[in-house]
Homo-oligomer: A and B are copies of this chain.
Amino acid sequence: MEELGHRISLNLLAIYRPLEMRKRRCRFCNREARLLIRQANLPLCEEHFVSWFERRVERTMRRYYMVGPGERVLVAVSGGKDSLALLCVLTILSERMGFEVVGLTLDLGIKGNSYSERSVKMARQASEELGVEHIVVSVKERYGFSLPEALKADKRPPCSLCGLMKRYAITDIAREKRFDALATGHTLDDMACFILTSYITGAVRELVRLTPVVRPGLPGLPKLIKPFYESLEEHIRAYADFKGLTYMPDGCPYASTAPSDRVRAFLDQLESVSPGMKHSLVRNYIKHIRPALHAYLKESLEPLRACSKCGMPSSGEICAFCRLRERVLQRLRR
């Protein structure tokens, strides 16, 4: 895997391909190209890449009817490249498409290397530069416990617990503040990885829920939208760099090698020899496999109900977050 990791990071470094690009000219203005959109063999300069990228996200949002005019969109901003790029592109598209954008950053209370503090700082700085309203919510203040405290009380892997807390908190806050939509920075790479992993493991009930827009199953909840559903991480990174955004480096103090990392590395390799492969995998899932699975599983899928404690969507009587919260608070009281 070391060898693999090495090759992939070389690959990422190579995306601005100074050598290869020096010979190529932007398709639109004949200036020196900075980046090659490989699946379209399209060399672009910085300026035309930025507008290509923004138009592409706009197309995704229109194709899946993500946001209507006048709607209010809460953007989950972790401080990483994907979410800062999302905040940036949505701010630009909000003018064109007539919706409203607010950023939200959770302070999870991760102390290692001042991780949470730095994340919040980068998100706040980017929001200021973009002129976007930005909310910071400390999970410790809101729910009584931080992520590190949850990790001590629960044996689940860090990424799984963190995901549960973040998903719950951002939905809860969007609901409280009556947002129409909640936008997350999930990328085409994330989608491809989740889909292939589900094909391998057979987690079809989780797979069938994966759509570009998840309409709320209960009243008062925001729809969940993924504007980067068709955008590659390498393009998102380039966009963030060209826009001069300062973002947190990938990886958090709790991150270890997740099993999905292997699938992700293999997909990266496959994409590098067959550009467009990830998009094809995801598009064909949405076009063919998902409708079939949905029709087949429809009757056996459990309807979501409201958690009897907090009213948020839950598959059981009490939602997973409320169960976690009770366990952690009990431990903290001791």
Contact = CB atoms under 8 A, between A and B. Distances in A.
A204 interface: yes
Interface in A276-293: 277, 280-281, 283-285, 287-289, 291-293
Interface residues of A, number: 31
Nearest to A208: B292
How many copies altogether? Answer: 2
Contact of A263 (B1, B270, B284, B289): B270
A199 B289 contact: yes
Interface in A204-247: 204
Contact of A274 (B262, B269, B289): B262
A196 B273 CA distance: 16
B285 A296 contact: no
Contacts of A274: 259, 262
A258 interface: no
A293 B289 contact: yes
Interface in A188-202: 195-196, 199-202
B266 A269 contact: yes
Of A277, A284, A287, A295, most B-chain CB atoms within 10 Å: A284
B204 A280 contact: no
A310 interface: no
Contacts of A293: 288-289, 292
Contacts of A266: 266, 269-270
Nearest to A283: B202
A164 interface: no
Nearest to A259: B274
B284 A200 contact: yes
A332 interface: no
Contacts of A277: 200
Given A266-B266, A269-B266, A289-B293, A280 B202 contact: yes
A199 B281 contact: yes
Contact of A296 (B199, B200, B259, B291): B291
Interface in A246-282: 259, 262-263, 266, 269-270, 273-274, 277, 280-281
A178 B295 CA distance: 40
A200 B259 CA distance: 21
A296 B292 CA distance: 5
19 contacts: A1-B273, A196-B196, A196-B199, A199-B199, A199-B285, A199-B289, A200-B284, A201-B280, A201-B284, A202-B280, A202-B288, A204-B284, A204-B289, A204-B292, A262-B270, A263-B270, A289-B292, A291-B296, A295-B295
Interface of A: 1, 195-196, 199-202, 204, 259, 262-263, 266, 269-270, 273-274, 277, 280-281, 283-285, 287-289, 291-293, 295-297
